[in-house]
Amino acid sequence: MRRRRPMLGGGGERKAERMALTAEKLKSSLDALAAIEPAFAAAIARIGYPAPRIRDSGYETLLRAIVGQQVSIKAAASILARVEAATGGTADPTNVAATSDEDLRAAGLSRQKIAYIKSLAEEVLSGRLDFAALPADDEAAIAALTRVKGIGRWTAEVYLLFAEGRTDVWPAGDLAVQVEVGRILGLAERPTEKKVRELAEPWRPHRGAAAIFAWHHRHVVPI
């Protein structure tokens, strides 16, 4: 059976460039958020605006996210370099699909992560996962991504925020977001995921900018 050609570059990269949450767009969204929530206005005045975080849209960004799960940034970079060499190039899912599990294990991947990246490659090669055709609705796009083995909600949310520039994606399950939202709002205790979702309802459609600022706040404000 002929396989559908996956979106790996070209149009996918142009899409990422067009939709990226640039510094200008991020600042505009945070200014709008500050007008809604005075605590964010005070925090922005105190520590300034975060730098944008922009990633390429498509298969390779998600593959890198899987490889980097539960390891340090340094270790992930080292493993990725070895996987790149073992596969002959991770940008093409055909290479990953054709590489033996033994070679991927020798590159430093666990059996679980091998299953995950091969599942991702197969989803893309079969056309079941088409990055250029992800639903416009954020929850529907998250559902489409999390159908892939190894892609959880947090990974899907971060992908949509940084690779697609979706301004209202809200990773409320992220511990750092919970901690920093609590600190920014002056809460006595870290809010739960449920509470963070409730608190952020008035911030629509700028919750993605709120998340980026929360991560910025964590690295700038002294503990």
**What domains are there in the chain, each with its CATH number?**
21-53+169-220 (1.10.1670.40), 59-162 (1.10.340.30)
| pLDDT on residue 129 | 95
| pLDDT on residue 190 | 97
Question: CA separation (Å) from 205 to 116, 131, 212, 217?
Answer: 32, 22, 14, 20
- Point out the residues that are catalytic: 174
- Which two structure tokens, joined as six digits, stand for 221? 């404000």
| pLDDT on residue 221 | 62
| pLDDT on residue 146 | 95
Query: Which 3 state secondary structure label does DSSP give 167?
Result: coil
Give 122: exposed, middle or buried? Use CB within 10 Å, 0-12, 13-18, 19+. Answer: middle
Per-residue pLDDT of the chain (223 residues; tens, 9 = 90+): 334 444 444 334 434 444 688 999 999 999 999 999 999 999 999 999 999 988 899 999 999 999 988 888 899 999 999 999 999 999 999 999 999 999 999 999 999 999 999 999 999 999 999 999 999 999 999 999 999 999 999 999 999 999 999 999 999 999 999 999 999 999 999 999 999 999 999 999 999 999 999 999 998 765 4
- Which two structure tokens, joined as six digits, stand for 60? 């390779």
DSSP 136-191: SSHHHHHHHHHTSTT--HHHHHHHHHHTS--TT---TT-HHHHHHHHHHHT-SSPP
